[in-house]
Amino acid sequence: MEVPILKQGDVLIATFQAALSDADLNQLRRGLVQQVVKHRSRGVIVDVTAMDVMDSFASRTLREIAHMIRLRGAETVIVGIQPEVAFAMVQLGLTLEDVSTALDLEEGLSYLIQRFKNVD
């Protein structure tokens, strides 16, 4: 299952659908970084609103994606983690530390735009 990646100016938006397999996640990791390179994006938003469960593999992959994108000089924001998912994640110790998070797409965009201003 392909994850749709949309471009909004300097920002790429990847929207997760409900259940992603490990293969999907690996494909996304490759695809997303390629897109950042191709479009010279400054920010990436990964929208996980539709995910109702986050396991350790998904969590690790998201962190790896953020790290890889940072190496390209861009910033990643994970948005849309549901309350129940957040609760389950912290209980399992999957804290996604050192990755930025925001409530939803609007907040994520607003955060990135602010960050771009600070850098400019």
For another protein, the closer of residues 51 and 74 by Cβ is 51
For another protein, the closer of residues 21 and 95 by Cβ is 95
- Kindly indicate which of the ranges 15-23, 33-41, 66-74, 76-84 contains the residues binding another protein, using the contact rule CB under 8 A: 76-84
Q: Pairing between strand 11-15 and 100-102?
A: unpaired
* Nearest of 45, 60, 62, 34 to residue 10 by alpha carbon: 45
Q: Is residue 32 at the binding interface for another protein, with CB under 8 A as the rule?
A: no
Q: How far apart are CA 48 and CA 73, in angstroms?
A: 23
* Nearest of 53, 50, 59, 49 to residue 25 by alpha carbon: 59
Q: CB of 27 within 8 A of CB of 9? A: no
- Kindly indicate which of the ranges 9-17, 20-28, 61-69, 106-114 contains the residues binding another protein, using the contact rule CB under 8 A: 106-114
Q: Is residue 53 at the binding interface for another protein, with CB under 8 A as the rule?
A: no
Q: Is residue 81 at the binding interface for another protein, with CB under 8 A as the rule?
A: yes
Q: Which of 86, 105, 113, 116 binds another protein (CB under 8 A)?
A: 86
What is the torsional sign of CA 99, 64, 66, 23? negative
Site residues for another protein per CB under 8 A:
78-79, 81-83, 86-87, 89-91, 95-97, 101-104, 107-108, 111
